[in-house]
Structure 1
Amino acid sequence: MRIDRRGGLALLGAGLVFCAAAGRAFAADPPDFRFDGLDGGQHDLSLWRGAPVLVVNTASLCGFARQFDALQGLQDRFAAQGLHVLAVPSDDFRQELEDDAAVKRYCAVNFDLTLAIATITPVLGPEAHPFYRWMAESHGFVPNWNFNKILLGRDGQPRATWRAVVDPLSTPVLTAVEAALSA
């Protein structure tokens, strides 16, 4: 880690595009966000507060879809310590299947996923899910492709983001997840 010129901490590593600055004023609590679940129900981020959460916009037909295995590996490795991984399928980059049922079949046939998966959800522009609008408006982060990753700390605030090229089991992600778990 290094101290950036604004006094915040920044992790070094390819693909890291954001890390919450030390001393930056955040609201006491982030807004509550809920994602409709692919298996029904909802994934309520406020219920996961107190534990780190990795939110990833995904797409079944993307070349980075192989990262589903790594996302599951991350969940398996750190779930007992409190980490939650949420996959958010999106067709904003025109690489998602035609509907939620097709996404569910695809994940069942190609991956043995037990991590939380949302329904197909917009992540860009005025139709974006409120979580992604909050990330854009309050934190300056907008996904530029599928498999962008956002790590939320125990307080629900973003701690780091990575672009698609960064594997979920890479050193920068593992280091940040471990730091979030120990905070």
Structure 2
Amino acid sequence: MTTAYDFSATSIDGEEVSLEQFRGKPLLIVNTASQCGFTPQYEGLEKLNREYGDRGLVVLGFPCNQFGHQEPGDAEEIKNFCNLRYDVTFPMFEKIDVNGKGTHPLYEWLKSEKGSVLGSRIKWNFTKFLVGKDGQVVDRFSPTTKPENMRDAIEKVL
């Protein structure tokens, strides 16, 4: 059986990161963008990270430029934006594709595990996947779902 922990991704600093290091911890996996109407959700995601991090939750940010070209920067620009604007401390990764031929394998799996009204496609920036301690997708949240409105679901997986 495949779990989220079976995947790896390149960090925003260019290092290969195995998600195996998060085994046994719930994950909140989000495709992000710095020039989107939902960009202020970085603040809420960071609050969740700080509030629940000591209880095991790990927020993982995956920048994506597939929706309105709202993440045009390179890794350094994205990293600086996240640090300076939102004081992001959760792991951020290199820009990836979440739809189409170049979809990152993690997102192929996430989408196959939890579809939406659009089928398996990601609708927009800040689609969120909640993964339980067993590495399985528990829930999928739309871009319009604010991070603070996910607390009940997060509490259930802690």
| TM-score, reference length from structure 1 | 0.78
Residue identity in the other structure for 1:177: I
1:174 corresponds to 2:147: no
Aligned to 2:70: 95
Deviation at 1:138, TM superposition (A): 4.1
Q: Determine the C-alpha separation between the residues in 2 that align with 1:107 and 1:139.
A: 28
CA RMSD of aligned residues (A): 1.4
Residue 152 of structure 1 aligns with which residue? 131
CA distance in 1, matches of 2:79, 2:110: 26
Alignment of 1:95-174 (within 5 A): 95-140=70-115, 141-170=120-149, 173-174=150-151
Shift of 1:99: 1.2
One-letter amino acid matched to 1:122: D
How big is the shift at 1:142? Answer: 2.8
Q: Is 2:47 the partner of 1:73?
A: yes
Task: Give yes or no for contact 2:31–2:127 (8 Å, CA) kept in 1.
Answer: yes
Aligned-pair CA distance for 1:49: 1.6
The SS at the match of 2:40 is helix
Mean alpha-carbon deviation: is it higher for 80-89 or for 137-146?
A: 137-146
Aligned letter for 2:125? N
Q: Does 1:37 align with 2:1?
A: no
Deviation at 1:79, TM superposition (A): 0.6
| Rounded Cα–Cα distance in structure 1 between residues aligned with 2:14 and 2:63 | 15
Extract unaligned runs of 5+ from structure 2: none
Quick one: distance in 2 between partners of 1:174 and 1:97? 31
User: Which structure's CA Rg is the greater one?
Assistant: 1
Partner SS, residue 107 of structure 2:
helix
Paired residues, number = 152
C-alpha displacement at 1:105, in angstroms?
1.9
TM-score, with length taken from structure 2: 0.90
Structure 1: state its 5+ residue gaps: 1-26
